[in-house]
Amino acid sequence: MTSWTTTVLLFALIATASHLYLSYRQRRHVLSRRNAVPTTFADSINLPAHQKAADYTASRLQLDNISQLWGLALLLLWTVGGGLQWLDGITSSAGLPGQAGGVLFMLAFFMISHLLELPVDVYRTFSIEARFGFNQMTGQLYLGDMVKQLLLMALIASPLLWALLALMQSAGTLWWLYGWMLWSGFMLLMIWAYPTFIAPLFNRFEPLEEGPVKSRIEALLRRCGFHSNGLYVMDGSRRSRHGNAYFTGLGKAKRIVFFDTLLKQLDGEETEAVLAHELGHFHHGHVKKQLMITLVLSLAGFALLGWLATQPWFYSGLGISEPSNHAALTLFLLIMPVFTFVLTPVMNLFSRRNEFEADAYAVANSNGRALISSLVKMYEDNASTLTPDPLYSAWHDSHPPAPIRITHLQQCMEKSGK
Ligand SMILES: [Zn+2]
């Protein structure tokens, strides 16, 4: 075993072990508080709902642990277990010219990986989500989604992979810089294309009905000086009872999308408050900042790949006897998460800070009390735990834990005298 092999295995073990440890802490913390609703929520959430959230959290953690261990096993099988080497032998025997062989190899790798991870997702959807009353998906819809996703993946990934492999082949030592430019352009294209072309393949989007809710929202948008390309309602209830609201697109092509499930849960004032929170993200430029961070990190990733791809040990230490551009790209995608998992808490810290800023904006421009009541409804309807373990939450949560978020909102309201 080379020292490179040892390094990757060691980091993979550390990543998995930390994941399992945090998950153990979260499970213990949540279940030990299962029989008492925290005082902040004593008036708004009853004991059965609180217990349901605890059981739902515990079930999801258990499946997540299995998924982590399975992911580790797959990583080992693909690399030191010789999986990639085996796949390379099969796809190269097709004798495709130029970059086509590399594209075929990578598509086959993505498809097989997807199928191997499928059982976990099927169990999550049809066992856990169904048991807690969230799943609305039929087997037929699930299968249809999967076929569409795989076809779409092949359609979108093929030209991108072809271009990347061609750059690696013939653009010289700075290929990674051009590769990064191509990748960045592709990401921006997807941000534009997703709401317009891809999301409608999976869901129906209808303009928000005229009425009191719409006039409220339009008044809020005017008050905040915000221009959007439309207000839409998405039939999220086709797949799940979980509710949500989001923005998509950049610049003038921004759209506001409400899940139909959310509009059913909240009244007009609460819907307005949730939207005011989302506007806060735009006001503070969170979306652009997040995009910039992603672009900078991917530049670092491409530079690293540019160097790794020229090192023979990068391949031989991970079960590949014959270096190739497609093997470099695939290996890199496969092992990167083992090292980048330490970035998770940093990114989430940043994200939670953004949530506080957006909440403060919502209090200033809308009704803080309505935002609190909408959050409480969403915690209850989504069976989110109100009692997360602090360490688990610091690592994994992109949103502040419920009690801290509500306390912060109350402080914002006091400060502004509302
Ligand atoms: Zn937010």
3-class secondary-structure state, position 231 = strand
pLDDT digits (tens, 9 = 90+) for 81-100: 999 999 999 999 888 888 99
Average pLDDT over residues 260-265: 87
- Residue of 279 and 255 predicted with greater confidence: 279
| Residues whose Cβ atom is located within 5 A of ion ligand 1 | 355, 358
Q: Which helix H or strand E contains 261, and what residues bound it?
A: helix 260-265
How far apart, in whole angstroms, are the C-alpha atoms of residue 136 and residue 236? 9
Ligand 1 centre distance from Cα of residue 275 (Å): 10
Beta carbons of 361 and 282 less than 8 angstroms apart? no
Q: What is the pLDDT of residue 1?
A: 66
322 alpha carbon to ligand 1 midpoint, in Å? 47
Report the predicted TM-score, pTM, of the whole model to 2 decimal places. Answer: 0.88
- From the CA of 210, how far away is ligand 1's center (Å)? 26
The Å distance, Cα 246 to ligand 1 centre, comes to 9
Residue 109 Cα to ligand 1 middle (Å): 35
Query: Residue 380 C-alpha to ligand 1 middle, in angstroms?
Result: 18
Candidates 341, 252, 351; CA nearest to 18 is 341
Q: Given the DSSP bridges, would you call strands 231-234 and 255-259 parallel, antiparallel or unpaired?
A: parallel
DSSP code, position 203: S
Geometric angle at alpha carbon 374, from 236 and 22, rounded to 5°? 80
Q: How far apart are CA 25 and CA 22, in angstroms?
A: 5
The answer to whether 284 and 357 have CB atoms below 8 angstroms apart is yes
Q: What is the CA radius of gyration of the chain?
A: 24
The residue among 149, 150, 258 whose CA lies nearest residue 213 is 258
The rounded Cα 249 to chain-centroid distance in angstroms is 16
Q: Compute the distance from residue 203 Cα to the ligand 1 centre, in Å.
A: 23
Determine the distance separating the centroid of ligand 1 and the alpha carbon of 357, expressed in angstroms.
9
Residue with tokens 């928000």: 208
What does the pLDDT read at residue 238? 83
Distance 79 CA to ligand 1 centre (A): 38
Mean pLDDT across 292-316: 95
